[in-house]
Homo-oligomer: A and B are copies of this chain.
Amino acid sequence: MTRPLRQDAAERREKLLLAAQAAFARDGLDAPLHLIAEQAGVGRATLYRNFADRSELALAVFLKQIDDLAGRTRARLDDPDVFVWFLEQMTRLMLDSAGLSSAIRDLKDEALAPIRQGLKAAGAEALAVSQAAGRVRPDLTVEDIRVLALMLGAPSRTAPAKAREALSLRSLALVLDAVRPRGDAA
């Protein structure tokens, strides 16, 4: 009896997350909430029922993406260059979402801290593997993962899209140079 209801609720939540992801990607972390609700096809209060505030919504949106990346990364831990791959994926994520880089950075909302933690966790194993294989500088630490993410996300919210992509790729190239061991040809 309550099962269909539950399903309905889950679907609504999913639609909200999708709409929010799109809005954050397009307009940044401060996209109007009422537009997100509208574009999800639900009432405003439903959004508030599912997510107490903007932070919680953002958290859910971005953690999903981080978790996804974490999973895909774990599946590649036998590749010695997995950390490079991880950074490439991160770049794409940042390129596709103006909000994510803000979420990793922004001081206004300490509630977003779990995203930083999730990011660190997602990359830690990859970093260890690549360092063990000598493909990444041994002095990098898990703390650096956030720094690298910030650097890769820096070009987001830059217009136009073409330029943004070019800047992102150049950032990635420079970051990879910084990350590879000295003297590595790569």
Contacts and interface: CB of A to CB of B under 8 A. Distances in A.
A164 B179 CA distance: 21
A144 B174 contact: yes
13 contacts: A101-B154, A105-B157, A105-B158, A106-B158, A108-B157, A144-B170, A147-B167, A148-B174, A150-B171, A151-B151, A151-B154, A153-B154, A177-B177
Contacts of A159: 107, 110
Interface of A: 101, 105-108, 110, 143-144, 146-148, 150-151, 153-160, 164, 167, 170-171, 174-175, 177-179, 182-184
DSSP class of A's interface residues: helix, strand, loop or mixed? Answer: helix
A67 B171 CA distance: 25
Contact of A171 (B147, B156, B183): B147
Contacts of A175: 151, 174, 178
